[in-house]
Chain A
Amino acid sequence: MSGVRKVASAVALLAIVAVLSLGAAAGGMGPFFDGIRALGTFYLSTAPPQIAELVLGPSYRGLSSYSPEVVTSIVWDYRGLDTYFETAVFFLAIIGAVAIYRGIEEPVLRRPASGLSPIVRAVTKFLIPINIAVAASIALHGHLTPGGGFQAGAALAVAPVIVIVVFSRRYLLERGVTKLKALFLRSVGLIGIALVVLIPVIWSVLSGEWAWVMQNQWKPGAEVFSYPAYLGGALISGSIWFLNLFEFLAVSFGFTILFLLISIDEDTVRSCMIRGGEECDRY
């Protein structure tokens, strides 16, 4: 890296820190609390809309995230920006893995992959749709029950792992679950998250009314913008539902990429075990 670029990146980093600190100093962090207990009481009594209404009266909506699941409220609403950058870190880790494994060609198959016994294969086939159903249920009920996008993504990523172990990696690739497709779906998830976070700002610029980054329900000082808390009578907790859904996509396919990268073809393992030497040195 040249000297100019080093200086430029250092200045950019310092500028980001300075801008964030300035925002915090100017009151951009919202109200502060004395001690952890007061903060905990605040979260527990404002996150679920019914309790918030009892505690705060008619002005409750400005401080409620409209989700009865308090942990999800904290993760995606009260400290949402933190989760947003967590997701970015996970994405960078996967980009790093993809970069390390770049340019590795798929080995030519000498014999068809056989996988484990027919008993394990047949039973696994039935577990795949059930696995998808359970993961989707965790994601789509993330605003109501413990779980949410990340946990659901981890649950869905179990499916490619058991297919790789039971049927072989080649089987997954031949059925169209490739690194490129997983990378595409992961990017769709991330772009979705970024959009949900930035829509309040875009709306603010277009309408001239004030709104916060990652705003969910209306807040004191930004009363006009609000994600819909209910859709057709069902509670969706505004942006939390969309963030869970996109995180589900991003995490499950992020893990799928990793599992595809770190697993080795059954054919290669057999060659290594039979012939040894050169075949094994590649891995």
Chain B
Amino acid sequence: MNPAKALGPAILTFIAYIVFSGSVSGYDLITGAAIAAVTGVLVSDFLVTDTRKSLDIRRLGWLIAYAFYYLTVAELKSHLSFAPKVLSGRIRPGVVAVRTPLKTEYGMVTLANSITNTPGTATVDIDPEKQVLYVHWLWVGAEDEEEIREKIAKPFERFIKHIFEGGEQA
């Protein structure tokens, strides 16, 4: 058991507990802290592989910045480009392979879900060994491997790299 390792999941549990209870009385804070401590210890091995990374405040900052960028800029851009295609009904669908430099499980999954959650693209599968995502694209706008990556994954990878990748501990 490693208390530092349990801290990240414990904070997540505590926030979920307080938000779901919808109250911040002394009773909620005390019971929430107790539940968070127990849950943090129970799930830490399941959830955390690198304690130092899970408690890195700069990575958290990048995560918040990414959430802001994703929910405003990325979503808007994507909607603007795909709304005309959907309305006119002129589509050119296909599945493309996107190669990514991301290596970690969380990094690749965040990229896959980011791609899925913007209109026009949906991740069908990921191959963690080959570092390839298979993406269904409503309007296949590129043939070249590098160009595909540029259009689909690059804007997200820039942030995800800072959140999950690098700084691996020996």
Residues of B near A134 (CB, < 8 A) are 16-17, 20
Query: Is the C-beta of B113 less than 8 angstroms from some C-beta in chain A?
Result: yes
The 25 sampled A-B contact pairs (Cβ below 8 Å) are A117-B125, A118-B109, A118-B128, A122-B105, A122-B106, A122-B109, A123-B109, A125-B46, A125-B47, A128-B43, A129-B47, A132-B13, A132-B39, A132-B42, A132-B43, A133-B17, A133-B36, A136-B17, A136-B35, A137-B17, A137-B32, A137-B35, A140-B31, A175-B46, A233-B26
Interface residues, chain B, with chain A CB atoms under 8 Å away? 9, 12-14, 16-17, 20-21, 25-27, 31-32, 35-36, 39-40, 42-43, 45-47, 105-106, 108-109, 112-113, 123, 125-126, 128
Query: Is the C-beta of A32 less than 8 angstroms from some C-beta in chain B?
Result: no
Contact (Cβ within 8 A) A232 B26: yes
**Please, how many angstroms separate the alpha-carbon atoms of A136 and B40 in the complex?**
14
Contact (Cβ within 8 A) A119 B109: yes
**Please, how many angstroms separate the alpha-carbon atoms of A129 and B14 in the complex?**
9
Q: A137-B21, A141-B21 are in contact. Are A132 and B108 (CB under 8 A)?
A: no
Chief secondary structure at chain A's binding surface: helix
Contact (Cβ within 8 A) B26 A130: no
Residues of A near B123 (CB, < 8 A) are 119
Residues of B near A140 (CB, < 8 A) are 31, 35
Contact (Cβ within 8 A) A118 B105: yes
Q: A117-B126, A118-B126 are in contact. Are A133 and B20 (CB under 8 A)?
A: yes
**Please, how many angstroms separate the alpha-carbon atoms of A123 and B117 in the complex?**
14
Q: Given A118-B105, A132-B43, 5 more contacts at CB 8 Å?
A: A118-B128, A126-B12, A129-B47, A130-B12, A140-B31
Contact (Cβ within 8 A) B105 A137: no
Shortest Cβ distance from residue B21 to the other chain A in the assembled complex, whole angstroms: 5
Contact (Cβ within 8 A) B39 A133: yes
- 0/1 per residue, A112-127, Cβ < 8 Å to B? 0000011100110110
- 0/1 per residue, A200-238, Cβ < 8 Å to B? 000000000000000000000000000000001110000
Question: How many residues of A sit at the interface, in one of the four size bands?
Answer: 20 to 34
Contact (Cβ within 8 A) B113 A129: no
Shortest Cβ distance from residue A92 to the other chain B in the assembled complex, whole angstroms: 29
Residues of A near B112 (CB, < 8 A) are 119
Shortest Cβ distance from residue B34 to the other chain A in the assembled complex, whole angstroms: 9
Shortest Cβ distance from residue A48 to the other chain B in the assembled complex, whole angstroms: 17
Residues of B near A233 (CB, < 8 A) are 26
**Please, how many angstroms separate the alpha-carbon atoms of A118 and B123 in the complex?**
12
Shortest Cβ distance from residue A33 to the other chain B in the assembled complex, whole angstroms: 34
Residues of A near B39 (CB, < 8 A) are 129, 132-133, 136
Contact (Cβ within 8 A) A129 B12: yes
**Which residue in chain A gives the minimum CB-CB distance to B108?**
A118
Contact (Cβ within 8 A) B47 A126: yes
